[in-house]
Amino acid sequence: MADTLEKKEAEVTEGVEHTRAVKVYTPAVDIVEKAKEILVTADMPGVDDKSIDITLEKNVLTIYGKVDVDVPEKYRASYVEYGIGDYRRSFTLSNEIDREHIEATVKNGVLRLVLPKAEAAKTKKIEVRAA
């Protein structure tokens, strides 16, 4: 469970500037390792399949979710507990991922990334024979 309930702002990467004047948050993620794949689940409310960018460069998988800050017109923000902004998070992948078959789906503001393990990395059962 997360330490705080608050949304965490993403750190500004050295030498990289934002081109959009919005805050960038770090989404909360779950990472579960299964026998054949690694499942990454990220909470990104406000993001759908069209506004998410997933890039894989060298060993770094980056997810970036763009959120439209749609402020209701003719309303006054009288009480604000959470900020609205984009999401960004990067993960370093080990070589054991089958990069060609990474799958991503978004439902109800939750991103599900399935990273299949490469053939070589799948656990092999070693049989023990009685001598």
Partner 1 sequence: MLLSDLTGITRNVLAGGRHRYGYGAIQNRLQQMQDEMQRLFSSGVAERPAGEYPAINLWTNEEEVIVTAELPGVNAEDLDITVVGRTLTLKGTRKAEEVKEDECCHRTERRYGNFVRAIELPYEVEGEKVSAKLDKGVLSVTLPRAEADIPKKIKISSN
Q: How far is CA 53 from CA 73, 74, 130, in A?
A: 28, 32, 53
Among residues 19, 77, 92, 119, which is the contact residue for partner 1, using CB under 8 A?
Answer: 77
Q: Checking DSSP bridges between strand 110-116 and strand 37-43, what pairing results, if any? A: antiparallel
> Residue 26, Cα to own-chain centre: how many angstroms?
9
Among the listed ranges 27-35, 54-62, 94-102, 114-122, the one in contact with partner 1 (CB under 8 A) is 27-35
Q: By CB under 8 A, how many residues form the interface with partner 1?
A: 43
d(CA 118, CA 46): 32
Stretch that binds partner 1, among 56-64, 71-79, 94-102, 113-121 (CB under 8 A): 71-79
Which among 29-37, 55-63, 94-102, 113-121 is the span making contact with partner 1, rule CB under 8 A? 29-37
Residue 53: CB atoms within 10 A of its CB come to: 11
Query: Where does this chain bind partner 1 (CB under 8 A)?
Result: 1-2, 4-7, 12, 14-15, 17, 21, 23, 28-35, 41, 43-48, 71-72, 74-83, 107-110
